[in-house]
Structures are given as C-alpha cells and as structure tokens.
Amino acid sequence: MTQNTSGNKMWGGRFAQGPDAIMEEINASIDFDKKLARQDIEGSKAHAAMLVHCSILTPEDGEKITKGLDTILLEIEKGDFQFSRSLEDIHMNVEARLRDLIGEAAGRLHTARSRNDQVATDFKLWVRDTLDTLSEQLADLQKAFVQLAEKNHDVVMPGFTHLQTAQPVTFGHHMLAYVEMLGRDRGRFQDARKRLNECPLGSAALAGTPFPIDRMMTARALGFDGPTANSLDGVSDRDFALEALGAAAICSVHLSRFAEELVIWCSAQFGFVSLSDAFSTGSSIMPQKRNPDAAELVRAKAGRIIGALNALLIVMKGLPLAYSKDMQEDKEQTFDALENLSLVLAAMTGMVGDLTPNIARLKEAAGHGFSTATDLADWLVRSLDMPFRNAHHVTGALVALAEEKKCGLEDLSLAAMQAVEPRIHDGIFDVLSVEKSVASRKAYGGTAPENVLEQVKRWKSLLDE
C-alpha cells in the first residue's frame, strides 16, 4: 500500500493531495535537472527585468525577485540549498524557495511564461554553455596533436590499409589526420550552437502570451540572437540537443579510432609508442603488464555517447506538437553524453601529450611488407614510360621474387630485377628506401616531412585565431 506524500502547494487545489510515491518517483526530475540551476536563475532574472521594463511587474517587486534569485544561486553554489523531490523540478524548487525569501512577490515572476518555455530556455542555455566548453577542449586536443606532429614530422612509420602495411608515412602526417577530424568536430559544434541560439522564453505553454512582453529584450539579455518565431516549435523543439549529441557521437568515434590505435600501438607485438604510468595501469597478477586503460575507456565511452543520441531520437520520433512529458527524458542522456565527452577529451589530450613514439621500431616496421612497392611501380611509369597497369604487373613479379629470396625489394640485385624487366637501371634504388618514399610525396595533402611542417604552420595559425 503506497502512502501519499505531502501535497505540492505549487499546484494548487486540484492537485492538493499530491502524487503518491510511485507517481513522485516517475515524475520528479529534480535529481538530474538541478544541473540547470544556474541557467534557470539566469533566465528568471532576465524575465523579471523584462517584466519590469514592460510595466507588467513593479520595480520594487523586480528588485526583490532579483535579490532573492541571487541569494538562491549562492545557496546552491555553497551546497546549502535543500532540493525537494515533491516539488518535482528545478523550476518549482527555485520558485518555492523564492517565495520563502520574499513572499507574495515571488508568485509574480511566472507571469507571461510557462514551465514549457522555461525548461526549453534553460536546457538551451546549458547545451550552449557546454558546446562552448567542448569547442575549447577540442582546440586544446588539436594543439597537442599539432605539437606531436611538429616534433615528429620526419619520423617514418608504416601506413596501413586493412591493418596491413601499405605504404610508409610520417608519424607527423598521421597525427595531423586527427587534427583534421577534430577540426570538423569543432565546426559541427559551432554550427549547432548557431542554430540553437534562438530564445524560447515568451512562448509560454504553447500558444504565446497575451501580455505585452518584449521577447527581443530577454533574448538579448541571455545572449541569444533573437526569439523563436513560432511558440509551438519554441516549446517542443529538441533539435538543439539532438544536433549536439550527433556532433558528440561523431567526435566520440574519432576519439575511439585513435584510442584503438593507441591500444594496438602500445602492445608488445607492435611497440610503436609507450604511455607513462599516468595513463596506464598494471595487472593484479601479471607484474610485467602495462595496460592502456585510459585509451580503452575512451574507446568504450563512444558507445555510451552514441547510445544517448539513439535514445533521444527514439523519444522524439512520435511526439505530436507541442510539449509532452516524454521530453523530460531529454536531459539525463544529454547531460551524461556531453559530460562524458568532456571527460574523454581531457583524457585524450593528456595521453597525446604523454605518449612517446618508438622511432627505431616505427622505422623498422615501415619497411616491412614491401611497403615501397608502389614507389617501384611509380618509378617504372615515370622512368620507363610504362603504363601503370603494366608497371603494377612488373612490381608484383618483383615482390614475388623478393618473397622467394626472403629479402626486401631494396635487397634485390639489379641483375635479378632486370631478369623481370630488362629496362630497369640502377636509378631504381633511389626510390626503394622508406625515407625517400615519404620525401617524394610532396603533392598537397601528402605525407612528405616538408608538407607536415607546412600543415603544422597552418594549424598553429588557425588555432591561434
């Protein structure tokens, strides 16, 4: 048998009995939406100032409300505020405390607004603030990659396709690939911010308000470009959260890809890089182990972030206009996903700054698997005017010969090569080393060390802006 809780006085007569314990459990959102406290108070102060400006609220009541809200924010920041689940959400908790502090004037604050436009505004403000933070963190991670690329601009390593050795590349070029990805991630976050920057406040429950309010004033006060143009859309739109989660999901995939490479590269089988104890852990029974746990957790968090996007898409897919209580489920996964993305960005920035490439091992591996075979084919085209398909066939025959002799292409004698293609001359040896291979790839976007330094310069300039 459930017991009734004390009535929620904010609801008034019809709901005087209050929900029972089960209803309170499913209905209350204060456990998570208290994260919106600062945004809720910021929005309320802007709304109060606008009501005073429009002569809907007296200056005296406006001053009381503003001071009361400042007191509440201080209490929350100090940890002295008592949140009540019976009051359901952050909006009612703040308003109830405001009534305790200033009395009847608190009830005038909700004039010309609803919790529907209030929560949409609060949530937008939180997402916007978080996008700004994530953009800054992405820039920091890009800078860490750029620094690592500059330091290792001419270090040779194997480039892979299908996780098979393909062609030699420079370590710096490989690091800059992630700078490009992260640059697109920042662009997506910045685009999402631009689109969300319209203020729902003043849309009221769904139809707008008959009060002569100035929505442009509240929009400006809260840093929005302007108010939303349609009240129905204003209270029911969650595109801004979906778009933020979409950008976060793509970003998490990029971080997961590099985390996967770190896991592979740190293994004894590869030995390409090492991480210090700051980002590794030992085994409880195997003293020789150094596990790249931080990278593995970054990799795993991608699933959590992608899941949050899927969850909100499913919540929103069947909702008619305007607001439905389903939309209360928009916050927990958004809070969780974006906060976890912030955490993994910090972790990845630390790992990039911490990792040490094993230059000798990278160079050794760069020459495995006949990685300069394409260079040989290109040389046949350039030097012997051979059609590429013919050159591909000749190169394949030379690779087979080297496999038979259990040596590298560069170790084949000129005579052995000429037995396959008589026109080959000793100029062929100018392209068979991994250093000469990477140095030759000077076309824009290529892996040549000089290209890496040019891109480092370009990114430093962009990130300084």
**Cα(407)–Cα(430) distance, integer angstroms:** 18
Q: Token pair for residue 330?
A: 């928009």
**Cα(77)–Cα(69) distance, integer angstroms:** 12
Q: Exactly one of 267, 283, 324, 413 is catalytic; which is it?
A: 283
| Nearest residue to 223 (alpha-carbon basis) of 194, 190, 244 | 194
CA 206 to chain centre: 32
State yes or no: is 368 an active-site residue. Answer: no
Q: What are the φ and ψ backbone dihedral angles of 292, each rounded to 5 degrees?
A: -80, 65
**Contacting residues for 358 by C-beta, under 8 A, at least 6 apart:** 271, 272, 273, 274
Question: Residue 47: in which H helix or E strand, if any?
Answer: helix 37-53
**Cα(428)–Cα(380) distance, integer angstroms:** 8
Q: Exactly one of 6, 162, 284, 461 is catalytic; which is it?
A: 162
Cβ(62)–Cβ(48) below 8 Å: yes
**Cα(147)–Cα(235) distance, integer angstroms:** 45
Q: Tokens 């601009």: give the residue.
A: 153
Q: How many CB atoms lie within 10 A of CB 349?
A: 18
**Contacting residues for 288 by C-beta, under 8 A, at least 6 apart:** none
Question: Residue 92: in which H helix or E strand, if any?
Answer: helix 90-102
State yes or no: is 110 an active-site residue. Answer: no
**Cα(275)–Cα(269) distance, integer angstroms:** 15
**Contacting residues for 404 by C-beta, under 8 A, at least 6 apart:** none
> Cα dihedral angle (405, 410, 416, 417), rounded to 10 degrees?
130
Cross-strand partners of 170? 156
* DSSP letter for each residue of 364-430: HHHTGGGTTHHHHHHHHHHHH---HHHHHHHHHHHHHHHHHHTS-GGGS-HHHHHHH-TT--GGGGG
Exposed/middle/buried for 426, CB within 10 Å: 0-12, 13-18, 19+? exposed
> Cα dihedral angle (453, 456, 461, 465), rounded to 10 degrees?
180
Label the pairing between strands 356-357 and 273-274.
Answer: antiparallel
Positions marked catalytic: 162, 283
